A = this chain, B = another copy of it.
Amino acid sequence: MPTDSADPSRRDQILDAAERLFAGQGFARTTIKQIGRAAGVNSALLYYYFADKDQLYREVLQRFVARLVARTMSGSAGGGPPDARLRAFVEAQAQTLAEHPDAPRLLAREMIDYDAAHAVEQIQHLSVTGFRRLCDLIDEGQRAGIFRDDLDPRFAAISTIAQVGWFFVARPAVRILLKQGPDGPSDDVIQAFGRHAADFAVAALTAPAGRAGATARRSTRARSRTS
């Protein structure tokens, strides 16, 4: 099985079809024959390019995450004050997911179904890049005195990212709540939510430290900020 070497077209053709199908119906329900048909080739050919179904799936995920990381990273590189950069980060995230509607499904399913076993390195990479960048951003804002410093940056990063992530994963519920059509929220609504999420996060982080926790104990910070 000459899995490597150079034949872009056919190979990518198969990967494209596989990506669509895996994203749409998951690993188990997608058959080799479906993929072959969708790619316009005989299903046996898949075994010329890939060792088995599992390997094909892994390569789909890898290619996918790599693209996603590239896209996300390029979007939030600029300078400026931490709150503006955080805002840019969140809006870029919404933008990216709106352009790749398969992404949340594919990744969330992988995490849920296989505990990310097919793409540990990829998911790690995403965590180490995306999450980490956010953490650093928040930490920086805290040290600059712009953000309240009684929040754990890692918790805050999860809360920030969660908004847009959940918006896409819980699509059926969101659709009902927002009374959107069967295709899910329109681009307008997605963009509006992206702005809202950025707003929400910045507001939570810039709130005066003493004010919000009237009922509650101070500091949900559990650990060192070096993370």
| Contacts from A to B (Cβ < 8 Å) | 25-26, 28-29, 83-84, 87, 105, 108-109, 111-113, 115-116, 120, 123-124, 126-128, 131, 135, 148, 151-152, 154-159, 161-163, 165-167, 169-174, 176-179, 188-189, 192-193, 195-207, 211-217, 220, 222, 227
Contacts and interface: CB of A to CB of B under 8 A. Distances in A.
A66 B143 CA distance: 46
Contacts of A214: 83
A159 B171 CA distance: 13
B196 A151 contact: yes
How many copies of this chain are found per oligomer? 2
Contact of A29 (B28, B173, B199, B213): B28
Contacts of A196: 151-152, 155-156, 159, 220
Contacts of A195: 216-217, 220
B159 A163 contact: yes
Contacts of A135: 177
A159 B127 CA distance: 20
A158 to B, nearest CB: 6
Contact of A220 (B158, B192, B213): B192
A155 B180 CA distance: 13
B216 A211 contact: no
B173 A199 contact: no
Contact of A158 (B84, B155, B177, B199): B177
Nearest to A194: B220
Contact of A178 (B128, B154, B200): B154
19 contacts: A25-B113, A26-B26, A28-B28, A83-B214, A83-B215, A108-B108, A115-B172, A127-B176, A128-B176, A148-B203, A155-B196, A155-B197, A163-B163, A179-B227, A198-B216, A199-B212, A199-B213, A199-B216, A203-B203
